[in-house]
Amino acid sequence: MLTLRDFENAYEKVQEIVLPTKLIKSDYFSDQTGNQIYLKPENMQLTGAYKIRGAYYKISTLTEEEKKKGLITASAGNHAQGVALAAARQGVKAVIVMPTTTPLLKVNRTKDLGAEVILYGDVYDEACEHALALAAEKGYTFVHPFDDPTVATGQGTIMMDIFKELPTVDYVLVPIGGGGLATGVSTLAKLLNPKIKVVGVEPAGAACMKASLKAGKVVSCGHVSTIADGTAVQTPGKLIFPYIQENVDRIITVEDEELIPCFLDLLENHKMLAENSGLLTIAALKHLNTKNKKVVSIISGGNMDVITIASLVQHGLIMRDRIFTLSVFLPDKPGELTKVSQVIAQAQGNIIKLEHNQFVSINRNSAVELTITMEAFGTEHKEKIIKALENAGYAPELRDSKSVF
């Protein structure tokens, strides 16, 4: 079993490479939940994620012979960058197998750190099988991203940071993919103070750990589908599973739609960019049935490509009724568009896009369909704009806003 001394050794070693990620007290999320919420921003690490901790510590424990063989691993991106950087710092060759669905940003950054990248498979598990086959064929030393107690010990140094800053912490929320981070954090938490509650958070579309705990053994998800690509794992780690059984108090699953508004909340209120897997613990806050507790949400990473960011912003604004689309029918004569615009302007709506279609009807008294996409302050303001249009004699109908930008 992992001991406190193991974590102390790992903590001392990773100080050579990790950046300090001090806890951030969140007044916004505290007010929303009735608890004292603190953020652990591991998205601010050199590689944009906590994975550098486990990778660096694991590689530091390898023999010279194991290092000379070269390293290979499989990863959806964050472990890849951690291994690439750790290997470069210690002068070791690294080969990374990544799923073909990995965001381009993570692929390019891994290459920039000096690793050889091979794209294979649609999900992590397929990439991992290929990496293991290459390790057997070419003699590489395989560095598992999560199913390795040594890697998990390195990841668990996050908990040492948390405890040093907030020794009276009540709850720690930790994302779960394969379970390495949750293993390290939960095991050290219980060693430091058995009263600390550790809650794992999984995407509902890849809840393999929850299914395994229910079954009492490691089981695989039949199908993985989630926007939280960093935690899109079909099968949790077998070696670390007993630690999860022993030390994780509860698993919360989060739907993909819950992550989208969390992205906006974190960006607007803390000027912080987190990837979807990193948002899991933010989305889970509303699922805690607690009040007046000190809760730490681990933001595990922030590596996200620009296209995904744009999509999250658009969908988040739509979900919050800050962007919406409606249509009205107008008589086909000059000045009608101006009248509608004035009604919206007086209600403080901001028009983003207009579509003016004269050919939807042969009735010239109601021949023009005007589709308007506009910005509002939220649901209440949206309803105020719709009411203003109705009072002006129009019959607005809400439309799909998914293709705003």
DSSP for 275-305 reads: -TGGGHHHHGGGG---SS-EEEEEE-B----
Q: What is the pLDDT of residue 305?
A: 81
Spell out, as residue ranges, where the chain has pLDDT lower than 70: 358-367, 402-405
Run of H or E including 327: strand 323-330
Same domain, 392 and 306: no
Same domain, 173 and 298: yes
Alpha carbons within 13 A on the beta-carbon side of 352: 16
Q: What is the pLDDT of residue 405?
A: 52
Same domain, 281 and 345: no
SS3 state of residue 120: coil
Tokens of 143: 């560095």
Identity of the residue numbered 344: I
- Class of residue 391 by CB neighbours under 10 A (exposed 0-12, middle 13-18, buried 19+): exposed
* Phi-psi domain of 271 (left: phi exceeds 0; alpha: psi -120 through 50; beta: other): left
51 is catalytic: yes
Q: What is the pLDDT of residue 358?
A: 62
300 is catalytic: yes
Catalytic residue among 13, 40, 51, 294: 51
Per the structure, how many domains does the chain have? 3
Same domain, 367 and 221: no
Same domain, 161 and 258: yes
| Domain range for 374 | 321-399
Q: What is the pLDDT of residue 256?
A: 95
In a domain, 158, yes or no: yes
Q: What is the pLDDT of residue 359?
A: 60
Among the three residues 267, 294, 316, which one is the final residue of a domain in this structure? 316
Catalytic residue among 60, 186, 277, 300: 300
Phi and psi torsions of 352, nearest 5°: -100, -40
200 contacts: CB under 8 Å, gap ≥ 6: 174, 175, 176, 179, 182, 186, 209, 244, 248, 250, 251, 252
- Dihedral (CA of 373, 378, 382, 388) sign: negative
